[in-house]
Structure 1
Amino acid sequence: MKVDFIIVGHGLASVAVTEHLRRFNKSFIVFSNENPNSSSKVAAGLYNPITGRKMKQTWMAEHLFSYLEAFYSDLEKNLNATFLYKKSIYRPFLSLEDQNDWMIREHKNKMFIKETFTNTNFKAFINDDFGGILLDKSGFLDVKEMLHHHKNKLIEKNQFIIEDFNYEKLVRNDSHVLYGDVESENIIFCDGPLSQNPFFDWLPTAPVKGEILHIKTEKPLPDDIIFNRGVFIVKNPQQEYYRVGATYEWKNLDYQPTEKAKQQLTEKLDELLQVKYQIIDQVAGIRPASKDRRPLIGKHPEWKNVFIFNGLGTKGVSLAPYFALQFVEYIINSKKLNDEVNINRYYPLYSN
């Protein structure tokens, strides 16, 4: 079999890359095996233009958020499935000082603000004595559902091989790469945390373990709102429970839920939520992230047909579409990659 691209891995990154390759009429084959604990399968999938304790506009929001909803909506149509949920995110103020600080900065974020409240608006559900901001261009992606339908479509088109990729079997030269009976002009690694990848193990990664609670509430919360301050509370219409998250752990990188994370989440949830709830499950995953919190995208410093699209971290849903388009145009049309994501920023760390 001859293709233009071999893609290793099947998560958010892989979906975004393959769908942009398809737009350029490039052929590809994906190699991946099931990992029920991958970050893409357990993530809540939020996309949120105003983040952090100080509620600041996220990096490159004006570019990312004008593209992502159109991309995922088109993908829904192509896969005949539903996995994108456009919902307003409500972020309550924590104090009058918090409210005043926001009012000073509000004009800088107007494109993402639906409404600002200076008095309580959701008192029956959460603690918001000082009001809060209701965000626009926000919501969540059911990543697990998207991956399920995307994988089935690739299998149907003979573009997916269920197999753990064996890095030692890859044969590479200047004109192409060989893997088993597949000959390809290029290979792109979208394989999550990089500890096992010998081609890019020199990159300074910082994988992050994240844990999420599944809860049932005594009464339903508003269907069209995601509450988010300290923790997020989001419900998929196809499920009976809410997801609450998330934690950040850089040391103990396994897939086992912990009592420590459960305590962290419940303490923050109790500060936010007014409604009684019951914990029904707890899940963990590992996000592929970089030390400078920017994606790891680009070409191997020595081998011109070996590429990486990885390190999307906690904001993968919003980062993947925009940078996949930029990445594919970089490969096919030699367009410039954003300097902050291009792995050439780390070339001095490479030694062959």
Structure 2
Amino acid sequence: MKVDFIIVGHGLASVAVIEHLRKYDASFVVFSDENPNSSSKVAAGLYNPVTGRKMKQTWMAEELFPYLEKFYGDLEELLQSDFLHKKAIYRPFLSLEDQNDWMAKEQKNSPFIEKTYTESKFSEFIDDSYGGILLKTSGFLDVKKMLDSHKENLIINSQIIQEPLDYQRLEIQQNQVIYDEIRGRNIIFCDGPLSNNPFFDWLPTAPVKGEILHIKTEKPLPEDIIFNRGVFIVKNPHQDFYRVGATYEWKNLDYKPTEKARKQLTDKLDDLLKTEYEIIDQVAGIRPASKDRRPLIGNHPEMKNVFTFNGLGTKGVSLAPYFARQFVESINNLKKLNDEVNINRYYPLYSS
């Protein structure tokens, strides 16, 4: 088999790269080692243009967010599936001081702000005594459903090999990449946070474990709103429970849910939610993040046909489409990669 690209991994990053390669009629084969606990499979998939305790507009939001909705919308049409859910996010103020601080900020006029409330709007469901901000160009991606639909498409087109890639059987030559009977011109690693990839193990990754609760509430919450203060509460219309998350853990990187994370989430949930609830499940995943919280994208320092597209972290849903487009354009010499995501910023760490 001869292809333009061998792609390692089938998660959020891989799908974004694949769909942009299609635009250039590039041929490819994907190696996928199924991991039911991967961050792509367990993530709530939120995309949120205003984040953090200080409610700041997220990095490059005005470039990232309009494009992500178009990208996933087009992908829904291609795969004949529905997995992008556009929903307003409501972020309650914590105090009168919090409300005043927000009203004094210039970013209150951000294109992502639908409305600012100075009095309670959803007091029937949550504690929002001081009002809050309602965000637009926001929502969530049903990542698991998207991946399952995309995988079916790859199977139909004989573009996926459902087994892990064995690095020992991989031979990198100047003009081709050889793996058994497969000959590729290039190889792209989208292989997640714990792959022990020998080609990119010099990059300063910082994988993050995240845990999410699945709950059922005594009273249904509004279907068209995602509540977000300390924790998010989001419901997938195809499921009968809400997801509540998420935690951040950099040390104990396993896939086991913990009592510590459960308490962190319930403490914050109790501060926000007014209705009674029941915990029905708790799941954990590991996000492929980097130490400077920017994606790790680009070309190997010595092997010009070896690439990585990784390290998307907690904002993978919003980062993947825009930077996959830029990445593929850079491979085709059409556009330069953003310096903040290009792994050439870490070339000094590499030693052959």
Asked if these proteins are the same fold (TM beyond 0.5), I'd say yes
| Equivalent residue number for residue 121 of structure 1 | 121
| Equivalent residue number for residue 2 of structure 1 | 2
Is the Cα–Cα contact under 8 Å of residues 86 and 140 in structure 2 kept in the other structure?
Answer: yes
1:333 positional shift: 2.3
Matched, 1:32 2:32: yes
| Equivalent residue number for residue 156 of structure 2 | 156
Is the Cα–Cα contact under 8 Å of residues 93 and 132 in structure 1 kept in the other structure?
Answer: yes
- Output one character per residue of 1:18-39: Cα deviation in whole Å (capped at 9) or x when no partner: 0000011111100012100000
1:107 positional shift: 4.1
C-alpha distance in 2 between matches for 1:304 and 1:7: 15
Matches within 5 A, 1:191-340: 191-340=191-340
Amino acid at match of 1:242: Y
Matched, 1:21 2:21: yes
Matches within 5 A, 1:61-76: 61-76=61-76
1:110 positional shift: 2.2
**TM-score, length-normalised on structure 2?**
0.99
C-alpha distance in 2 between matches for 1:109 and 1:29: 45
Q: Secondary structure at the match of 2:232?
A: strand
C-alpha distance in 2 between matches for 1:77 and 1:178: 34
- Output one character per residue of 1:237-262: Cα deviation in whole Å (capped at 9) or x when no partner: 00000000000000000000000000
C-alpha distance in 1 between matches for 2:104 and 2:8: 46
Q: Secondary structure at the match of 1:228?
A: strand
C-alpha distance in 1 between matches for 2:203 and 2:101: 38
Q: Which segment is superposed worse, 327-336 or 278-287?
A: 327-336
C-alpha distance in 1 between matches for 2:332 and 2:109: 35
1:195 positional shift: 4.7
C-alpha distance in 2 between matches for 1:20 and 1:167: 26
Q: Secondary structure at the match of 2:7?
A: strand
C-alpha distance in 2 between matches for 1:21 and 1:107: 36
- Output one character per residue of 1:81-130: Cα deviation in whole Å (capped at 9) or x when no partner: 00000000000000111111111115455200111000000000000000
1:335 positional shift: 1.8
How many aligned residue pairs are there? 352
Amino acid at match of 1:120: S
1:194 positional shift: 4.6
Q: Gaps (5+ residues) in structure 2?
A: none
Is the Cα–Cα contact under 8 Å of residues 194 and 200 in structure 1 kept in the other structure?
Answer: no
Q: Gaps (5+ residues) in structure 1?
A: none
Q: Percent identity?
A: 75
Q: What RMSD in Å do the two structures reach over aligned CA positions? A: 0.8
- Output one character per residue of 1:261-304: Cα deviation in whole Å (capped at 9) or x when no partner: 00000000000000100000000000000000000000000000
Is the Cα–Cα contact under 8 Å of residues 235 and 242 in structure 2 kept in the other structure?
Answer: yes
- Output one character per residue of 1:288-342: Cα deviation in whole Å (capped at 9) or x when no partner: 0000000000000000000000000000000000000000000012521000000
Amino acid at match of 1:157: N
Is the Cα–Cα contact under 8 Å of residues 88 and 134 in structure 1 kept in the other structure?
Answer: yes
| Equivalent residue number for residue 11 of structure 1 | 11
Q: Secondary structure at the match of 1:345?
A: helix
| Equivalent residue number for residue 84 of structure 1 | 84
Amino acid at match of 2:27: S
Matched, 1:94 2:94: yes
Is the Cα–Cα contact under 8 Å of residues 119 and 129 in structure 2 kept in the other structure?
Answer: yes
C-alpha distance in 1 between matches for 2:101 and 2:24: 46
**TM-score, length-normalised on structure 1?**
0.99
Is the Cα–Cα contact under 8 Å of residues 194 and 205 in structure 1 kept in the other structure?
Answer: no
Amino acid at match of 1:40: S
C-alpha distance in 1 between matches for 2:182 and 2:155: 16
Q: Which segment is superposed worse, 322-331 or 189-198?
A: 189-198
Is the Cα–Cα contact under 8 Å of residues 209 and 286 in structure 2 kept in the other structure?
Answer: yes
Amino acid at match of 2:326: Q
Is the Cα–Cα contact under 8 Å of residues 194 and 201 in structure 1 kept in the other structure?
Answer: no
| Equivalent residue number for residue 173 of structure 1 | 173
